[in-house]
Amino acid sequence: MNKKLIIFDMDGTVYLGANLIDGALDAFDYLKKNNIEYVFFTNNSSHDLEFYEKKVKNFGIECSLEHNFYSSTEVTIGYLKDRNIKNIYVIGNKCLKDKLKKHFTLIDKYSENEEVDAVVAGFSTELVYQELKDACLYLETRDIPLIATNGDYRCPIEDGLYIPDCGGMCEWIRLCTGKTATVLGKPNPEIIYYLAKQFNVSLDEVLVVGDRLYTDILVGVNAKVDSLCVLSGESSLEDVKSYPHKPTYILKSIKELPDLLGK
Ligand SMILES: [Mg+2]
């Protein structure tokens, strides 16, 4: 298989909560030795990339912040800039707001005469009702879009449990305002095109690897690149079989990745 860039999901793919997936170190060693580039992409906008870099590095995987880590926050900044959006109302964690503040004017509460170009929603573990209310009021009173860093309905935590994520929050807003979010991050194919360009590889040299069907696998399908579903996280083989979009490959975990790439 002639792959030059592998785009990894993290939780459920490389590690499960605090535990590295068995065989992961050997898999990354194989990539290094064979000059196959790898990046970690997360839809999660509730943490800084530094958080992920530290976590992945601590597992013993060779990586650097500048070269190997991307999130839906970076995709969102690019999207807003491309559209010349300047004033935004944001629902999200402090780290998302701090990042956005460097590029845009953040409006801090609802006001009738405020100029707002878009409402931006991220995965917020610091959500308060007032934010939802202000976001809805802006969307109801202006012809402006709701832009979401990601569409995941829920986020896995330990012991097979889940907490509400950005997609779930956007559903709440949709039911109130009638406005459906433009969802960035996976499965929006933009991120794949962006990374392929960044690493100067063609789309058929890209492999996207993850455990979640409606983000990790669907982004591969949408971008028309090969995808690998690992069964070490959220999806079972039954889930894969009943999902309308099929991954190109299915493996138990990334432990088997070198064998697949060596074929
Ligand atoms: Mg995952």
pLDDT per residue over 110-128, tens digit each?
999 999 999 999 999 999 9
Dist. CA 210 → ligand 1 center (Å):
6
Q: What is the pLDDT of residue 46?
A: 86
CA distance 25 to 11: 15
Domains in the chain and their CATH numbers? Answer: 5-43+186-262 (3.40.50.1000), 74-183 (3.40.50.1000)
Dist. CA 12 → ligand 1 center (Å):
4
Dist. CA 211 → ligand 1 center (Å):
5
The beta strands (E) that lie in 11-86 are given as 15-16, 19-20, 37-42, 69-71
Dist. CA 230 → ligand 1 center (Å):
9
Dist. CA 209 → ligand 1 center (Å):
9
pLDDT (tens digit, 9 = 90+) per residue, 67-96?
999 999 988 998 999 899 999 999 999 999
Closest-CA residue to 120 (of 112, 134, 229): 134
Computed over every residue of the chain, the mean pLDDT equals 95
Give the confidence band of 47 by pLDDT, cuts at 50, 70, 90. Answer: confident
Dist. CA 233 → ligand 1 center (Å):
6
Dist. CA 88 → ligand 1 center (Å):
29
Residue 162: strand pairing partners: 156
Q: What is the pLDDT of residue 228?
A: 98
Region of 108 (left: φ > 0; alpha: ψ -120 to 50; beta: rest) is alpha
Q: What is the pLDDT of residue 1?
A: 84
Instruction: Examine the pLDDT at 249 and tell me if it is beyond 90.
Output: yes
Dist. CA 176 → ligand 1 center (Å):
29
pLDDT (tens digit, 9 = 90+) per residue, 134-173?
999 999 999 999 999 999 898 877 777 889 999 999 999 9
Dist. CA 115 → ligand 1 center (Å):
37
Give the confidence band of 108 by pLDDT, cuts at 50, 70, 90. Answer: very high
Dist. CA 106 → ligand 1 center (Å):
30
Dist. CA 241 → ligand 1 center (Å):
18
Q: What CA dihedral angle connects 104, 81, 92 and 123, to 10 degrees?
A: -170
Dist. CA 64 → ligand 1 center (Å):
20
* Beta carbons within 10 angstroms of residue 106's beta carbon: 14
Percentage of the chain lying above the pLDDT 90 cut? 86
pTM for the model: 0.82
* Arithmetic mean of pLDDT, 202-225: 97
| 112 close to 147: Cβ distance less than 8 angstroms | no
Give the confidence band of 49 by pLDDT, cuts at 50, 70, 90. Answer: very high
Dist. CA 13 → ligand 1 center (Å):
6
Residues in Cβ contact with 222 at an 8 Å cutoff, skipping those fewer than 6 apart: 187, 188, 189, 192
